Structure 1
Amino acid sequence: MYKSIIFDIGGVLVDFDPKAYLVDRLCNAEMEEKVYDLTFGSEEWQLLDAGKLSRYDGNQRMLEHARAEGCAFEVQGVLDDWMHILRPRLRMLELVRRLKNHGYCVYYLSNIPQDVLELLTERGVLAQFDGGVASCEVQVNKPDPQIYKALLKKYQLKASECVFIDDRLENVQAAFALGFAGIQMKDSVGTLIRSLATCNVTLR
């Protein structure tokens, strides 16, 4: 029987689609790919998530690479503006509330830098959760098994009693390999609820 439901944050609890954002912002396929590789897809972004680089230092490194590529203006604009895409998904937060009301424990497990974690906490996005682990706190990113184990250890959870939800398949597969039930978040909340029902997690 599953007792705990574990949610990713970006792409699950809040909107986070950087490629769509760059399409809207730049309207140039070649530039979109270049800017993505210099920002969201960069090594610096991974280090930010892992709490191994400050936002200031990360941005400076990304801008240095962007100057070498001749697109510092575009990258600076993205770095100044991108956080507005982090819009809470109200139907997902309502699902979290309903799960809690039905007796399930709810946690988050996310690749997220410190400043974004603080922003979402201030906005109350994580207020309903029983706890969670952020990559910036443990300096490990999904899909490294150690971040999943950190969550299990912190809250004395059993993987076999947990359902993990993430929008990235590799993260779901890593959880599954450790004994979690895994669901890839693909589209609607309704589809997710039906997937949870296949794990006998019901809201009736």
Structure 2
Amino acid sequence: MYEAIVLDLGGVVVDFDPRSFLMERLCNESRENQVFDLVFGSKLWQELDAGLITRAEANRQIMEQAREQGLAFETQAILDDWPQMLHTRRRTVELMKQLKKQGYALYYLSNIAPDTLDMIKERDFWRLFTGGLASCEVQINKPDPRIYQEFLRRTGLSSDSIVFVDDNKANVQAAFEQGIAGIHYKGYNSFVKALGACGIHLKEPLVSRSTKE
């Protein structure tokens, strides 16, 4: 029987869809791809998540590359505005409340930079978590197997007592290789069904369909 649900943050509890964000802002596929590679798809972004570089230094290096490619204006706008995409997924939060009410402990395991983590911690849903681990705290990003091992060590949970939920399939696969059951998050409804397949059934109806995810 599972005793805890471990959630990724971006893409599960809060919105994080850089491709859609760039599409809305730039409306030019070529530039969208270029700016994505400069920012969200860059090694610098991975280093930010791992806490290996400051936001200021990462932005400086990104802008240096952007100027070389003639993308300074677009890139600066994205660097300024990207946190606006981090909307709380209300339906997920309601589900979290129900799971907690039914006795499941909630944890987080997320690739996230220190300043973004601080921002997310200010949200009301944060109190629902018993604990967790952020990549920036250990300088290791998913899907590196060491971060799953460190998570288990810090929380004292056993690998067979938890279900891990992530919108990145590679991260779910890496968890599985550590003996952790995983759910590849593709949307709210499929998430609820996947929980049911794990024997985790919601006992009460949740929010209406019209409520934002």
Please, what TM-score do these two structures have when normalized by structure 1?
0.97
Counterpart amino acid of residue 21 in structure 1: F
1:124 is matched with: 124
2:202 is matched with: 203
SS of corresponding position for 1:70: coil
**Within-5 A mapping of 1:88-107:** 88-107=88-107
Describe the superposition over 1:110-163 as per-residue Cα deviations: whole angstroms up to 9, x where unpaired: 000001100011123422100110001111000001111111011111111110
TM-fit CA distance, 1:38 = 0.2
Give the whole-Å Cα distance in 2 for the aligned partners of 1:10 and 1:91: 14
Give the whole-Å Cα distance in 2 for the aligned partners of 1:163 and 1:123: 23
Percent of pairs identical after alignment?
A: 49
SS of corresponding position for 1:183: strand
2:142 is matched with: 142
Give the whole-Å Cα distance in 2 for the aligned partners of 1:10 and 1:17: 8
User: How many residues end up aligned between the 2 structures?
Assistant: 203
Counterpart amino acid of residue 193 in structure 2: R
TM-fit CA distance, 1:102 = 0.6
TM-fit CA distance, 1:100 = 0.8
Give the whole-Å Cα distance in 1 for the aligned partners of 2:19 and 2:202: 34
Give the whole-Å Cα distance in 2 for the aligned partners of 1:175 and 1:98: 24
2:44 is matched with: 44
Moved over 3 A (4+): none
1:173 is matched with: 173
TM-fit CA distance, 1:15 = 0.5
Give the whole-Å Cα distance in 1 for the aligned partners of 2:140 and 2:64: 25
Counterpart amino acid of residue 12 in structure 1: V
Give the whole-Å Cα distance in 2 for the aligned partners of 1:191 and 1:166: 13
SS of corresponding position for 2:128: coil
Are residues 1:59 and 2:59 paired? yes
Give the whole-Å Cα distance in 1 for the aligned partners of 2:27 and 2:113: 27
1:12 is matched with: 12
RMSD: 0.8
